[in-house]
Amino acid sequence: MGQKPNEDCIAAAVRYEMPLERPSLWKPLAGKYGDRLCLVLPRTVYDGDAKEIIKLISEAKETGVSMVCVENPEHISLCGGFDVYGGMCLNVTNSFTADTLRLLGCKQITVSPEANMALARETESAYIVYGKLPLMHTRTCIITNICGCTGRKDPHDCRALLTDRTGAGFEILGGYRHTNTIYTPPHKHDIQFRAALAA
């Protein structure tokens, strides 16, 4: 998550997501893999940030990137000329929402893991079957309160771990403008979900 990518993974991927706000990661790869890179817009873009984000979107287009992922429906309008993918944080739990996002310009949606698997099939949407899921997004850098923020220069270098009373670890990653995202421990659907995907 947010680390230097492995080119073998990118070459094998249909879509490889990277944070838009980290051009030092994606720009060197855009010429070769522009058709596979999908740049994820920050979940929160405030008025003061819009100019910088629009500039990065423009640079992405100039370098040959053709896909972006939005986690906020308001950001779809910023992404003209791209194939727009709706991220899991849009919390799509029904076909009406999926259809509405498509009307707004999304080519594909990732449905919420809380939704019924049938929704992914009915709406021809993506569904996450393994990995860490974003549990909470914070505007304030809570890593500062836990262990001290280490990413003053690049907030993406900031990370910490929260442990609950059962011993489960919840990774916290720094993001754009020192926002934080808390992730669940690795999540894996049981065999019935994987069977449903194949049906």
Cα 122-11-119 angle, rounded to 5 deg: 10
Strands, E assignment, 13-132: 16-19, 37-40, 67-70, 83-86, 106-109, 130-131
The helix or strand, by DSSP H or E, that contains position 56, with its residue range, turns out to be helix 47-62
142 falls within a domain = yes
Cα 199-16-66 angle, rounded to 5 deg: 105
Q: Which residues of the chain have pLDDT under 50?
A: 1-2, 190-192
Q: Assess whether 48 and 107 both reside in one domain.
A: yes
CA dihedral defined by 169, 155, 81, 84, rounded to 10 degrees? 10
Q: Assess whether 92 and 151 both reside in one domain.
A: no
188 falls within a domain = no
pLDDT digits (tens, 9 = 90+) for 33-59: 989 999 999 998 888 999 999 999 999
Please tell me whether residue 42 adopts helix, strand or coil conformation: coil
29 falls within a domain = yes
Q: Provide the domain count of the chain.
A: 2
191 falls within a domain = no
Q: Assess whether 12 and 110 both reside in one domain.
A: yes
Instruction: Report the CATH number that the domain containing residue 22 is assigned in CATH.
Output: 3.20.20.70
* Residues 43 and 89: beta-carbon distance below 8 Å: yes
Given this model, what pLDDT does residue 177 score? 84
Given this model, what pLDDT does residue 184 score? 85
Q: Assess whether 12 and 66 both reside in one domain.
A: yes
Q: Assess whether 17 and 84 both reside in one domain.
A: yes
Given this model, what pLDDT does residue 148 score? 73
Q: Assess whether 16 and 86 both reside in one domain.
A: yes
150 falls within a domain = yes
* Residues 19 and 156: beta-carbon distance below 8 Å: yes
Q: Assess whether 20 and 114 both reside in one domain.
A: yes
- pTM > 0.75: yes
Identify the DSSP state of 72. Answer: S
23 falls within a domain = yes
Q: Tell how many helices (H) and how many strands (E) occur in the chain.
A: 7, 11
* Residues 72 and 41: beta-carbon distance below 8 Å: yes
Q: Assess whether 64 and 151 both reside in one domain.
A: no
Amino acid (one-letter) located at 31? G
Q: Assess whether 66 and 112 both reside in one domain.
A: yes
Give the number of other CB atoms < 10 A from CB of residue 60.
24
Domain that holds residue 145: 134-183
174 falls within a domain = yes
Q: Assess whether 30 and 91 both reside in one domain.
A: yes
Distance in angstroms (rounded) separating the CA atoms of residues 170 and 149: 17
* Residues 164 and 172: beta-carbon distance below 8 Å: no
Q: Assess whether 65 and 109 both reside in one domain.
A: yes
Q: Assess whether 146 and 121 both reside in one domain.
A: no
112 falls within a domain = yes
